[in-house]
């Protein structure tokens, strides 16, 4: 039995750092344009305390020459931002930024990718340790009143609907509830988006003696299937950021939806004072402007759809309360009309709106997006952009060799992580784009450079929630070149908890089923989750096919969990075997599982 590297990994590492680094090729920049990325940082790199909390990322992009640099942020969990652009004519240094919001313990990294340039920048690694469960400040959990003390503020974001399955375009509304500990107060804040990053700063005014809670609504029109999240970051000192409001839109074909009904009134996101106008005054003329389009002109990979997002601003002069109808036009097609409620104000008012859609391999060429308001200018405000797919060479021969599929046995009272790894070989150095499809649900598209004659596995994870035992199907598929794939069955077995557990318990043991050509000896592994009081020292060992491995000792984390991975080992007999985990101190629990070997 030959052994390789042993791994000790926390849950977030298993679900984050083991994810393969995405890398996307794009149309090359002009030969004279040289780029470099330095000073990639997370701020703060380590954060502990109350959650949700926000971590900022920055990097310095230096360029010399003439042309356009396209870049994006790549995240260790497989996420990525939209492509953004920098125009260079000479020498230029620009600080680029991104932000992420977290409401649970997390460890990971972010890096910058310059499209058209191989590889990523240095990685900004970070960790978040939450002091207890995430704190939610909403209508039912008011911020305590603290008159005469330094201002404290908090935000919470709700989304409606959180999941949509139907005809598009559809509207998803994000409602931010912002509270203050005293009045008068002004709170500066900004929206954070999982795709486009930070929005522009905005302010909300709380009048003396008035309510300490206000709400701001941000409607987003969605024209194609997508998913993501939004959050609010409080910029004013003493502020508590919101958690993420996750959403998912699945578009189906059918007749265009009818205009939605008038939404309930929400205050403007700009400060207002006592109105001088009355509702009986005639309506004033609204304005509209597209303030941002990302990624704008695009040239690069189209293996997965490219997410686009436009942000618009609907404006209204001072006056009485008024409703304004607006709609988006994408390539000349008018999306459904929406209604904004503006409260009366003695100051000019504005509300932001947004639209989201995707373009794929069939979407090459020139495009246009517009924003129109009823009763305003007769023509929409428009932005034009071009979309070009450049997949690069597509002639490598990629061959499937084997796959390791998880077989979980343990607790089913919380979600558990599952992972699939496969070996694919290539006849030349090439970049493969691949994804994992678990129970019919595709995961994110990832990328890895394969080299001939080198053993490199590709894989991904997903989180499973189940109340009873069962099995499912998992498919690991390469999306370019000759598109090889493998599809196999995985399983989970829910084990009742011991009613009288000891100091240490084994919450789960995951072995793997090997499916492959068996030209070389199978090379399996296993994972286990141990539970104990925080900082408990646990001594354990793996037992492979009846042969004990060396003893190791580690402490349970602050969460009470210790997630461990066995050595990979070779199974020279090319037959099924057994793997066990044994705790050697405290109450000495043990658990054993089979690992099937299927030569195909």
Find, among 28, 38, 32, the residue nearest to 117 by Cα. Answer: 28
SS (H, E, C) 78-128: CCECCCEEEEEEEEEEEEEEEEEEECCCEEEEEEEEECCCCCCCCCEEEEE
What CA–CA distance (Å, rounded) separates 394 from 301? 12
Residue 119 counted as domain residue? yes
Domain of 68: which CATH number?
Answer: 2.60.40.10
The secondary element (H helix, E strand) that includes residue 15 is helix 11-15
159 plus 61 within the same structural domain: no
Residue 137 counted as domain residue? no
Tokens, residue 200 = 């522009």
Whether pLDDT at 25 is above 60: no
Write the pLDDT tens digit of every residue in 389-434: 876 555 688 999 999 999 999 999 888 989 999 999 998 888 888 9
What CA–CA distance (Å, rounded) separates 189 from 237? 11
What CA–CA distance (Å, rounded) separates 141 from 147? 18
Decide which of 354, 389, 424 is a domain's last residue: 389
Mean pLDDT of 570-580: 95
Write the pLDDT tens digit of every residue in 238-289: 999 999 999 999 998 755 444 443 333 344 444 444 444 444 567 889 999 9
Phi, psi of 386 (to 5 degrees): -115, 150
576 plus 465 within the same structural domain: yes
pTM exceeds 0.75:
no
The secondary element (H helix, E strand) that includes residue 11 is helix 11-15
What CA–CA distance (Å, rounded) separates 304 from 117? 19
pLDDT for residue 271 = 41
What CA–CA distance (Å, rounded) separates 379 from 153? 41
Burial label for 393, CB within 10 Å (0-12, 13-18, 19+), is exposed
The whole-chain average pLDDT of the chain stands at 86
Q: Which domain does 231 fall in, by range?
A: 153-389
The secondary element (H helix, E strand) that includes residue 12 is helix 11-15
40 plus 164 within the same structural domain: no
Residue 17 counted as domain residue? no
For 582, half-sphere exposure in the C-beta direction (CA atoms, 13 angstrom radius) is 13
Residue 231 counted as domain residue? yes
The secondary element (H helix, E strand) that includes residue 35 is strand 34-43
What burial letters (b/e) apply to 468-478, b meaning 16+ CB within 10 Å?
eeeeeebbbbb
List, in order, residues 6 or more apart from 545 with CB less than 8 Å away: 1, 571, 577, 578, 579
Tokens, residue 46 = 């380590």
Number of neighbouring beta carbons within 10 Å of residue 7: 16
pLDDT for residue 45 = 93
- From residue 93, how far is each of 60, 256, 470 by CA, in Å? 7, 47, 55
Residue with structure tokens 């503020």? 153
pLDDT for residue 120 = 86
What CA–CA distance (Å, rounded) separates 237 from 499? 48
Per the structure, how many domains does the chain have? 3
Q: How many helices and strands, by DSSP H and E, does the chain display?
A: 1, 43
376 plus 487 within the same structural domain: no
pLDDT for residue 254 = 59
521 plus 410 within the same structural domain: yes
Cβ-contact 541, 580 below 8 angstroms: no
212 plus 255 within the same structural domain: yes
Mean pLDDT of 445-471: 88
Residue 1 counted as domain residue? no
Residue 517's beta-bridge partner residues? Answer: none
**Where would I find the beta strands (DSSP E) of 331-426?**
333-334, 338-342, 349-359, 365-373, 381-389, 398-410, 416-426
Decide which of 389, 416, 431 is a domain's last residue: 389
What CA dihedral angle connects 534, 532, 51 and 129, to 10 degrees?
A: 50
Phi, psi of 12 (to 5 degrees): -70, -30
Mean pLDDT of 441-447: 86
List, in order, residues 6 or more apart from 453 with CB less than 8 Å away: none
Phi, psi of 14 (to 5 degrees): -60, -35
What CA–CA distance (Å, rounded) separates 578 from 242? 47
Decide which of 389, 422, 456 is a domain's last residue: 389
What CA–CA distance (Å, rounded) separates 321 from 277? 9
Instruction: Supply the DSSP symbol for 363.
Output: G
258 plus 288 within the same structural domain: yes
For 355, half-sphere exposure in the C-beta direction (CA atoms, 13 angstrom radius) is 29
457 plus 566 within the same structural domain: yes
378 plus 409 within the same structural domain: no
What CA dihedral angle connects 27, 32, 33 and 37, to 10 degrees?
A: 110
What CA–CA distance (Å, rounded) separates 339 from 322? 10
Percentage of the chain modeled with pLDDT above 70: 89
Q: By mean pLDDT, which of 136-140, 353-357, 478-482 is the weakest?
A: 136-140
Write the pLDDT tens digit of every residue in 514-564: 999 998 899 999 999 999 999 999 999 999 999 999 999 999 988 889 999
What CA–CA distance (Å, rounded) separates 235 from 237? 6
Residue 135 counted as domain residue? no
- From residue 453, how far is each of 263, 404, 486, 566 by CA, in Å? 61, 20, 21, 26
What's the length of the chain? Answer: 600
209 plus 76 within the same structural domain: no
Place 87 in a pLDDT band, splitting at 50, 70 and 90.
Answer: confident
Phi, psi of 293 (to 5 degrees): -135, 120
Write the pLDDT tens digit of every residue in 214-236: 999 999 999 999 888 999 999 99
Residue 143 counted as domain residue? no
pLDDT for residue 258 = 46
Write the pLDDT tens digit of every residue in 44-75: 999 888 889 999 999 999 999 988 888 989 88
Residue with structure tokens 């090997």? 514
Where is pLDDT greater, at 116 or 111?
111
Phi, psi of 165 (to 5 degrees): -135, 100
Tokens, residue 49 = 């305390």
570 plus 453 within the same structural domain: yes
Residue 572 counted as domain residue? yes
List, in order, residues 6 or more apart from 282 with CB less than 8 Å away: none
418 plus 326 within the same structural domain: no
């Amino acid at each position: 039995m030959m052994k390789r590297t042993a791994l000790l990994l926390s849950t977030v590492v298993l679900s984050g750092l083991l994810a393969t680094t995405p890398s996307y090729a794009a149309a090359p920049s002009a030969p004279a344009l040289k780029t470099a990325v330095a000073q990639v940082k997370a701020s703060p790199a380590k954060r502990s305390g109350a959650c949700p909390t926000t971590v900022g990322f920055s990097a310095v992009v230096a360029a010399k020459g003439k042309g356009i640099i396209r870049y994006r942020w790549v995240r260790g969990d497989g996420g990525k931002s939209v492509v953004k652009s920098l125009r260079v004519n000479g020498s230029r240094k620009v600080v680029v930024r991104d932000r992420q919001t977290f409401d649970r313990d997390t460890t990971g990294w972010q890096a910058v990718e310059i499209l058209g340039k191989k590889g990523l920048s240095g990685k900004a690694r970070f960790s978040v340790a939450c002091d207890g469960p995430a704190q939610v400040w909403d209508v039912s959990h008011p911020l305590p009143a603290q008159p005469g003390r330094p201002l404290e503020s908090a935000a919470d974001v709700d989304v409606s609907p959180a999941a949509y399955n139907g005809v598009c375009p559809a509207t998803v509304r994000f409602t931010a509830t912002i509270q203050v500990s005293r009045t008068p107060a002004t709170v500066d804040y900004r929206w954070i988006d999982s795709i486009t990053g930070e929005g522009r700063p905005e302010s909300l005014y709380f009048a003396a003696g008035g309510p300490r809670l206000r709400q701001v609504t941000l409607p987003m029109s969605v024209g194609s299937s997508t998913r993501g999240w939004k959050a609010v970051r409080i910029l004013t000192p003493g502020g508590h950021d919101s958690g993420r409001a996750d959403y998912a839109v699945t578009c189906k074909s059918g007749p265009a939806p009818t205009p939605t009904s008038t939404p309930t009134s929400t205050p403007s996101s700009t400060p207002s004072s006592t109105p001088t106008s009355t509702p009986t005054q005639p309506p004033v003329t609204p304005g509209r402007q597209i303030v941002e389009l990302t990624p704008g002109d695009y040239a690069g990979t189209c293996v997965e759809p490219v997410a686009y997002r436009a942000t618009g601003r609907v404006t209204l002069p001072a006056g009485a309360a008024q409703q304004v109808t607006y709609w988006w036009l994408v390539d000349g097609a008018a999306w459904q009309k929406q209604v904004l409620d503006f409260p009366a104000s003695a100051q000019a008012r504005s509300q932001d709106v947004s639209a989201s859609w995707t373009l794929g391999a069939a979407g090459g060429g020139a495009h246009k997006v517009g924003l129109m308001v009823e009763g305003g200018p007769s023509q929409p405000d428009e932005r034009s952009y071009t979309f070009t797919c450049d997949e690069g060479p597509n002639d490598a021969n990629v061959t499937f060799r084997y796959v390791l599929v998880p077989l979980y046995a343990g607790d089913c009272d919380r979600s558990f992580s599952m992972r699939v790894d496969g070996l694919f070989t290539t006849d030349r150095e090439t970049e493969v784009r691949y994804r994992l499809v678990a129970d019919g649900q595709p995961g994110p598209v990832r990328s890895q450079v394969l080299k001939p004659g080198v053993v490199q596995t590709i894989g991904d994870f997903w989180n499973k929630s189940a109340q009873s035992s069962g099995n499912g199907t998992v498919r690991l598929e390469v999306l370019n070149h000759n598109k090889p794939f493998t599809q196999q069955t995985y399983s989970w077995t829910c084990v009742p908890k011991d009613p009288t557990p000891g100091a240490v318990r084994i919450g789960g043991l995951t072995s793997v089923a090997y499916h492959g050509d068996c030209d070389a000896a199978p090379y399996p592994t296993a994972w286990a989750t141990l539970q104990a009081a925080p900082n408990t020292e646990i001594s354990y060992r793996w037992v492979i096919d009846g042969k004990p491995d060396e003893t190791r000792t580690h402490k349970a984390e602050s969460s009470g969990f210790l997630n461990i991975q066995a050595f990979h080992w070779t199974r020279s007999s090319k037959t099924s075997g057994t793997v066990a985990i044994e705790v050697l101190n405290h109450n000495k629990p043990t658990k054993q599982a089979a690992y099937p070997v299927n030569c195909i």
